[in-house]
Amino acid sequence: MTNEELWQTALNELELAVSKANFMTWFQNTSVADHQDGSVVLNVPNAFAKEWLEHKYHKFILKALRNLAPDVRNVEYAISSELTPLLQKRKRERSILPQEGQLEFKELLVDRETNLNSRYTFDSFIVGPFNELAHAASIAVSKNLGQAYNPLFLYGGVGLGKTHLLQAVGNEIKKSSPRFKVLYTTSERFTSDLVNFMQSNEAPVFKEKYRSYDLLIIDDIQFIAGKIKTQEELFHIFNYLYEAGKQIIFSSDKPPHAINDLEERLKSRFEGGMVADIGQPEYESRLAILKSKSQGKDNYLNQEILEYIASNVQKNVRELEGALNAVVAKSKLSGRALSIPEVKEILDKNTQPKKIVTANHIIKCVAEFYDVNERTLFEKTRKKEIVKPRQVAMYLLREDYSGSYPYIGQRFGGRDHTTAIHAFDKISKELKKNAQLVEEMKRIRELYEYNSSV
């Protein structure tokens, strides 16, 4: 196993075991620089990541690596500037990192049978106006499995707590009904599982496995779009579990009717129970989340700092937690409470910056959302499946890019400016009466932030 393969496999385990915010903040852009004589050197991007991984995640990183390479006895951490001198001293005696302050394994370990992380509970979930319906529905399901809201379908943008609620239901069921079989998985793992069983000519074993659960939870179900065989198998598994009174829970970044390339029969099944939205947290909820996440973390955090973070990080819970982690790491390194200008500097560096929206990016995001070839938006076609995305793209070029009508017309295959005016007016009117279009616009604009191909 190469160093790259070793670390990628370890990261797969780590990603399941820690919150998404912590994984994105501390484990991205890391790699194994060296592995010899029972010691591993991890290359980390900055001093914050080095300090946090050493003092909070070292034990778990070591355990994950040992599961794959039993000879590993120690892990060292180095930012790029330190890497060469460190590797030149590989023969020196390895220092043992202090264990004080390390996160407990019970907070990190994922149950291999269920894929549930015990840290996700209803008690640790902050409820606010933005998520109270989804929370109430999840509580109801955990108390009346297979009877209240079956299936339960939660949807919302990235980092808003969908995974937390899904796993909280699973953990509650395992606590109240230990004999029940529970599985949390993602749509990607479900598809991968199906492919592996089919390649081994064991498709019946796949069906038997997924039909055996009392509670089946599938995260990010939108990624089965366009996967015909996966959708077919899920349809039959869904019907079997539903008719047997078993509970099914899904999550997605959009409601069922807005998932392109999803069979109508599956959309109908998904919408047959409870569909609950999780929106963006308002200020009071963001502050409550920060207070909860900061408990026991750092006595240097004060109300002013938390209020500043809550006021300036508004997108989602994951970014809130990532910003808090960065501030905590810096204050620990400094040994004091940070000033507001220092906190601002950290947020500017560590929170995801607002991307400069370009015309190309808007068009790309619209095409991606509606699952059409970008090239077709510029063609002289009146097909319904192309006209709407084209008009939406024209509207957004005017609204979010401030493009002139002549520019927009030229951008779309040399059309006259009146075509752009018509598109803008039509979409503007539709937005006043069409809730689905409002939702679609919201999701497209979220792609501005999360599409990495700008």
Cα torsion through 170, 175, 176, 180, rounded to 10: 60
pLDDT of 350: 65
The residue among 208 and 12 whose pLDDT is bigger is 208
Q: Is residue 104's pLDDT more than 70?
A: no
The least confident of 17-26, 130-139, 299-308 is 17-26
pLDDT of 282: 85
pLDDT of 449: 62
Arithmetic mean of pLDDT, 407-425: 90
Arithmetic mean of pLDDT, 144-166: 91
DSSP 203: H
Query: Binning pLDDT at 50, 70 and 90, where does residue 107 land?
Result: very low
Arithmetic mean of pLDDT, 314-330: 83
Arithmetic mean of pLDDT, 62-88: 74
Q: In the CATH scheme, what is the code of domain 283-350?
A: 1.10.8.60
Q: Is residue 153's pLDDT more than 90?
A: yes
**3-90, which class in CATH?**
alpha beta
The residue among 349 and 86 whose pLDDT is bigger is 349
Q: Is residue 3's pLDDT more than 50?
A: yes
163 is in an annotated binding site: yes
Range of 78-82, 107-111, 332-336 with top mean pLDDT: 332-336
pLDDT of 403: 79
**Angle subtended at Cα 220 by Cα 164 and Cα 227, rounded to the nearest 5 degrees:** 160
Q: Tell me how far the alpha carbon of residue 423 is from its chain's centroid.
A: 33
The per-residue pLDDT for range 191-216, each reduced to its tens digit, is 988 988 988 888 899 999 999 999 99
Q: Is residue 366's pLDDT more than 70?
A: yes
Query: Binning pLDDT at 50, 70 and 90, where does residue 98 land?
Result: very low
161 is in an annotated binding site: yes
pTM higher than 0.95: no
Range of 105-109, 115-119, 162-166 with top mean pLDDT: 162-166
Query: Binning pLDDT at 50, 70 and 90, where does residue 71 land?
Result: confident
The share of the chain scoring above pLDDT 70, in percent, equals: 89
Q: Are 386 and 377 in contact (CB under 8 A)?
A: yes
Q: Is residue 96's pLDDT more than 60?
A: no
Arithmetic mean of pLDDT, 320-337: 84
Q: Tell me which residue of 329, 318, 321, 312 sits closest to 292, measured CA to CA.
A: 321
**30: left (phi > 0), else alpha (psi -120 to 50), else beta?**
beta
Per-domain residue ranges of the chain: 3-90, 132-278, 283-350, 359-450
Q: Is residue 97's pLDDT more than 50?
A: no
Kindly report the backbone phi and psi dihedral angles of residue 128, in degrees, each rounded to the nearest multiple of 5, phi listed first. Answer: -145, 180
162 is in an annotated binding site: yes
Q: Tell me which residue of 281, 154, 278, 175 sits closest to 218, measured CA to CA.
A: 154
Q: How is residue 37 written in tokens?
A: 């004589």
pLDDT of 224: 92
Q: Which CATH architecture has domain 132-278?
A: 3-Layer(aba) Sandwich (3.40)
The least confident of 254-263, 343-352, 401-410 is 343-352
Query: Binning pLDDT at 50, 70 and 90, where does residue 245 land?
Result: very high
Burial class (CB in 10 A: 0-12, 13-18, 19+), 287: buried
Average pLDDT, the chain: 85
Arithmetic mean of pLDDT, 396-400: 87
pLDDT of 296: 67
**359-450, which class in CATH?**
mainly alpha
Q: Are 360 and 368 in contact (CB under 8 A)?
A: no
The least confident of 17-21, 217-221, 226-230, 386-390 is 17-21
The residue among 423 and 352 whose pLDDT is bigger is 423
Q: Are 32 and 42 in contact (CB under 8 A)?
A: yes
Range of 72-86, 234-248, 280-294 with top mean pLDDT: 234-248
Q: Tell me which residue of 144, 140, 6 sits closest to 64, measured CA to CA.
A: 6
